[in-house]
């Protein structure tokens, strides 16, 4: 890495900050908070230059993971402040934070698929239809449903990996 720290951070920012900011805005709904989280995420990348090693591939997955964890940490910190007030404790089992964030991430990844691929996944996985029922609803042959589902799942996996989601 012959680049100076400032050149490296500028390149990292130029390549990933826009997509990272959009991702965090979707998670938080707050543009200012998203800017803070992106800045903290890039600072952590600067502190861990090993993630920027080209032999490890694109650092985008790592950046998305760090940003998502910062959002969760921030949300939990804010929630714990509210819960410390008398009479505001949630009932047991009400913490759906991880599930909610996970559904947002999956929805964001689904938006990256083509309409045809998304339609097949919605029918088969979200609505629970059989291949035959999905084919009838979508007006396409069953074999097309199967192949679109196969390729849609592959593309969805790639999109999730790029967003830092691992198994």
CA gap 71, 78 in Å, rounded = 11
State whether 8 and 90 are in the same domain: yes
pLDDT tens digits, 20-45: 898 888 888 888 888 899 889 888 88
**0.95 surpassed by pTM:** no
State whether 47 and 107 are in the same domain: no
Residue 47, C-beta contacts closer than 8 angstroms, at least 6 positions apart: none
**Of 95, 115, 139, which one is at a domain's C-terminal end?**
95
State whether 9 and 69 are in the same domain: yes
Tokens matching residue 9: 């951070």
CA gap 10, 153 in Å, rounded = 34
State whether 81 and 157 are in the same domain: no
State whether 18 and 84 are in the same domain: yes
| CATH assignment of the domain containing 48 | 1.10.1740.10
Phi, psi of 29 (to 5 degrees): 75, 10
State whether 35 and 90 are in the same domain: yes
pLDDT, residue 3, reads 58
Give 36's DSSP letter.
H
Burial of residue 16, with CB atoms counted within 10 A of its CB: 0-12 exposed, 13-18 middle, 19 or more buried: buried
Q: Could you tell me which residue, 135 or 108, shows the higher pLDDT?
A: 135
5-28 vs 31-47: helix axis angle to the nearest 10? 140
State whether 8 and 78 are in the same domain: yes
**Of 80, 95, 110, which one is at a domain's C-terminal end?**
95
Q: How confident is the model at residue 137 (pLDDT cuts 50, 70, 90)?
A: very high
| CATH assignment of the domain containing 136 | 1.10.10.10
Count the domains in the chain: 2
**Of 64, 95, 126, which one is at a domain's C-terminal end?**
95
Residue 76, C-beta contacts closer than 8 angstroms, at least 6 positions apart: 97
Distance from the Cα of residue 127 to its chain's centroid? 22
CA gap 63, 72 in Å, rounded = 14
pLDDT, residue 51, reads 79
State whether 59 and 46 are in the same domain: yes
State whether 10 and 90 are in the same domain: yes
State whether 91 and 115 are in the same domain: no
Burial of residue 86, with CB atoms counted within 10 A of its CB: 0-12 exposed, 13-18 middle, 19 or more buried: exposed
State whether 87 and 104 are in the same domain: no
State whether 10 and 49 are in the same domain: yes
> Residue 1 belongs to what domain range?
1-95
């Amino acid at each position: 890495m012959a680049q100076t720290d400032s050149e490296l951070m500028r390149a990292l920012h130029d390549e990933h900050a826009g997509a990272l900011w959009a991702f965090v805005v979707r998670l938080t709904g707050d543009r200012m908070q998203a800017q803070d989280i992106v800045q903290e995420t890039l600072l952590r990348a600067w502190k861990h230059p090993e993630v920027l090693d080209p032999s490890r591939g694109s650092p985008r997955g790592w950046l998305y993971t760090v940003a998502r964890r910062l959002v969760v940490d921030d949300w939990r910190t804010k929630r714990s402040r509210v819960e410390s007030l008398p009479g505001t404790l949630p009932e047991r089992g009400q913490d759906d934070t991880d599930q909610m964030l996970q559904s947002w991430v999956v929805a964001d990844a689904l938006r990256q698929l083509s309409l045809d691929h998304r339609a097949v996944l919605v029918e088969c996985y979200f609505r629970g239809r059989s291949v035959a029922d999905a084919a009838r609803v979508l007006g396409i042959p069953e074999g097309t449903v199967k192949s679109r589902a196969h390729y849609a799942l592959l593309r969805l996996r790639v999109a999730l990996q790029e967003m830092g989601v691992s198994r």
